[in-house]
Chain A
Amino acid sequence: MNTPADLSHSKLVSRPLGARLWSWRYVVLRRLSQFGILLLFFGTAHWAWEWPAKTPLLTGNLSASELFGRIPMADPFAVLQIFLSGHVLQQKVILGAAIVLGFYLLVGGRVFCAWACPVNMVTDLAGWLRARLPIPAMFVVSRNIRYFVLAASLVLSALTGLAAFEWVSPVGMMHREIIFGLGAGAMALTAIFLFDLLILKNGWCGHLCPLGGFWSLVGRTALVRVRFDKTTCTHCGECARVCPEPQVLNLKRLEETGFVTSGECSNCGRCSPLCPEGSLAFDLRPLIRKHGAEGSISSVRRTK
């Protein structure tokens, strides 16, 4: 009862209300980001939001868009599928895909999943509920399935001549139908919600979604990463309990590397505010070694 891990755990349990609320800060920010993106799209589509004057603020949706009438953006995975379906695309969408790809190469591929993708709100809700309900695991499947689904969507795009995932994507259905009018996409989302809640924990985002698989591959070299401080960690395991991709918090590996290397980490920010010892914190990859050597400058903050 008095191992360091137990002490860490009791630290977490006895946190005052303020600290408890403060540990939700990244969740709040992520929701603001997710809703904000949808709101900008919606406002431009329905209330003719303009900036600068006479220019649509953010037109389109998450598949392809244009910001300030100048900056094109496009989903590189969708563009890749269309390319494989045998179509020469216009410069604008290719440039847009490059811009988006460049952005996520820096901040972490799956930052899209945790900070932009609207389906994440549905699966987070399912995950939050599941953690509070006595629902046993129905079966175990490899989280690498997403890479097979990713490969399948590329192969099928080439075979059918149609962007295979874009035609069935619940992600596409959700943002399209929120921005451009409702349809039966809600049924697909209900299915995902129930699947995540009752059948497979973190089933869609953490196992199946090929878009998540794509961004996982992109995120391997990301600059923004979660730094790990092995000197303060007590192996209490609280981080892995809240992490939707707990395999990325393999502490043995983290002790060697000093930070979360896996591209499957979505930088969602669940672990770092919760860590009772402050051993996990966002950092920039080039600075991580230096900060590690300085002996965890920030490891004492927020430990109450």
Chain B
Amino acid sequence: MSDKSITRRDFLVKTAQGASLAVTGGLLWAYLVRQEAKAQPYALRPPGALAEMDFNAACIKCGQCVNACPPDILKLAPAGANLPIGTPYFEPRTGACIMCPDIPCLIACPTGALAPELKDINKARMGLAVIDIENCLSWKGLRCEVCHRDCPLKGKAITLETDPRGLSKHAVFRPMVNSDYCTGCGICEKACPTEVAAIRILPPALVQGKIGDHYRLGWTFDTEITQDFKPSEQAPPAPETSGGKPAGMDYLNDGGGL
């Protein structure tokens, strides 16, 4: 061993070779895994699922939720299905969640990828119903409202906005989705009678905006500004005049510029 004079060089070269093989292989592998995990952002998960990336990490792909599902709507994504491999999902158009009160799929989950913190199925957020108002029969003025009637949280998750003179001849009953209540069960999507469902379930993150915390809606009662607002005790200062004309507001209100 020790009489070989090039051992050190050999060792370094071998180390470099091994390291580059490991790094190349590792990068490729990591790329594959990452690609697979974000293959499809539209997957609808069973109730209580963690946020998508956390869910992908925590799910052990065992399918116990699939076996526990009474209406048998859950599936495990097979390889090559353009969905994160091995993870459970459902497609509402063919099989909607019936919102079992005891949430057997969640109870069956051994890892907590379906978080046991969810106790009330009505608080589940599997997705959010979104209406294509251009192709919704009710929005077109026909009497459909099937989604509203079938909604397990009818009157909360889906409400009807009535417009007595919506069309020249008759009233329009427009279904509206309320994201505060919609669980994303998909019963509406399954029930929708149009050729391609005009109401669909999508992951909330794909469709919901966020106004930002810096907005204060002064007309709602619970915002800071409304509570602290006190009317001024002094009379407002008299409007300044300039150049013989009334100041801004008064000038316009008097119709001076028109």
Which A residues contact B (CB, under 8 angstroms)?
44-45, 56, 59-61, 63-66, 72, 74-75, 78-79, 82, 85-90, 92-93, 96, 148, 152, 155-156, 159-164, 166-168, 172-173, 176-177, 179-185, 187-188
Chain A binding surface SS class: mixed
Q: Nearest CB to that of B50 among chain A residues?
A: A87
B34 sits at the interface (CB 8 A): yes
Distance of A45 Cα from B67 Cα, bound (Å): 5
Measured between C-beta atoms, what is the minimum distance from B55 to chain A in Å?
A: 10
Measured between C-beta atoms, what is the minimum distance from B107 to chain A in Å?
A: 10
Stretch of B79-87, B210-218, B240-248 lying at the A interface: B79-87
Neighbouring B residues of A183 by C-beta, 8 Å: 77-81
**In the complex, are the beta carbons of B29 and A152 less than 8 A apart?**
yes
Neighbouring A residues of B79 by C-beta, 8 Å: 173, 177, 183-185, 187-188
**In the complex, are the beta carbons of A65 and B64 less than 8 A apart?**
yes
**In the complex, are the beta carbons of B29 and A185 less than 8 A apart?**
no
Q: How many cross-chain pairs have Cβ atoms below 8 Å apart between A and B? A: 144
Neighbouring A residues of B54 by C-beta, 8 Å: 87
Neighbouring A residues of B26 by C-beta, 8 Å: 152, 155-156
**In the complex, are the beta carbons of B68 and A156 less than 8 A apart?**
no
Contact among B56, B67, B76, B81 with A59 in the assembled complex (CB-CB below 8 Å): B67
Which bucket holds chain B's interface residue count?
Answer: 35 or more
Neighbouring B residues of A64 by C-beta, 8 Å: 60, 62, 64, 110-111
Neighbouring B residues of A155 by C-beta, 8 Å: 26
Neighbouring A residues of B32 by C-beta, 8 Å: 167-168
B164 sits at the interface (CB 8 A): no
**In the complex, are the beta carbons of A61 and B62 less than 8 A apart?**
yes
**In the complex, are the beta carbons of B33 and A177 less than 8 A apart?**
no
Neighbouring B residues of A188 by C-beta, 8 Å: 79
Neighbouring A residues of B91 by C-beta, 8 Å: none
Looking at B63, B75, B109, the one whose CB has the most chain A CB atoms below 10 A away is B63
B61 sits at the interface (CB 8 A): yes
B142 sits at the interface (CB 8 A): no
Neighbouring B residues of A86 by C-beta, 8 Å: 57
Looking at B33, B53, B81, B85, the one whose CB has the most chain A CB atoms below 10 A away is B33
1/0 contact trace for B33-68 toward A, CB 8 Å? 110110000000000000001101110111110111
**In the complex, are the beta carbons of A182 and B78 less than 8 A apart?**
yes
**In the complex, are the beta carbons of B29 and A168 less than 8 A apart?**
yes
Distance of A59 Cα from B105 Cα, bound (Å): 12
Neighbouring A residues of B34 by C-beta, 8 Å: 160, 162
Contact among B30, B36, B78, B110 with A66 in the assembled complex (CB-CB below 8 Å): B110
Q: Beyond A155-B26, A167-B85, A176-B76: 8 further Cβ-contacts under 8 Å?
A: A59-B64, A64-B64, A74-B110, A164-B29, A167-B36, A167-B86, A187-B79, A187-B80
Contact among B37, B109, B116 with A167 in the assembled complex (CB-CB below 8 Å): B37
B197 sits at the interface (CB 8 A): no
**In the complex, are the beta carbons of B110 and A167 less than 8 A apart?**
no
In the complex, 16 of the A-B residue pairs with CB atoms within 8 angstroms, ordered by the A residue number, are: A60-B62, A63-B62, A65-B64, A66-B64, A66-B110, A87-B58, A89-B112, A93-B110, A156-B30, A156-B33, A167-B33, A168-B32, A179-B63, A184-B78, A184-B79, A185-B79
Neighbouring B residues of A162 by C-beta, 8 Å: 33-34, 37, 56-57
A90-B110, A93-B111, A160-B33 known; A180 vs B75 contact (CB < 8 Å): yes
Measured between C-beta atoms, what is the minimum distance from A162 to chain B in Å?
A: 5
**In the complex, are the beta carbons of A60 and B78 less than 8 A apart?**
no
**In the complex, are the beta carbons of A181 and B75 less than 8 A apart?**
yes
Neighbouring B residues of A180 by C-beta, 8 Å: 63, 66, 75-76, 78
Measured between C-beta atoms, what is the minimum distance from B70 to chain A in Å?
A: 11
Measured between C-beta atoms, what is the minimum distance from A243 to chain B in Å?
A: 28
Distance of A90 Cα from B66 Cα, bound (Å): 19
Measured between C-beta atoms, what is the minimum distance from A101 to chain B in Å?
A: 15
Measured between C-beta atoms, what is the minimum distance from B75 to chain A in Å?
A: 7
Neighbouring A residues of B146 by C-beta, 8 Å: none
Distance of A67 Cα from B194 Cα, bound (Å): 44
Measured between C-beta atoms, what is the minimum distance from B94 to chain A in Å?
A: 14
A82-B60, A167-B85, A182-B78 known; A59 vs B108 contact (CB < 8 Å): yes
**In the complex, are the beta carbons of B33 and A44 less than 8 A apart?**
no
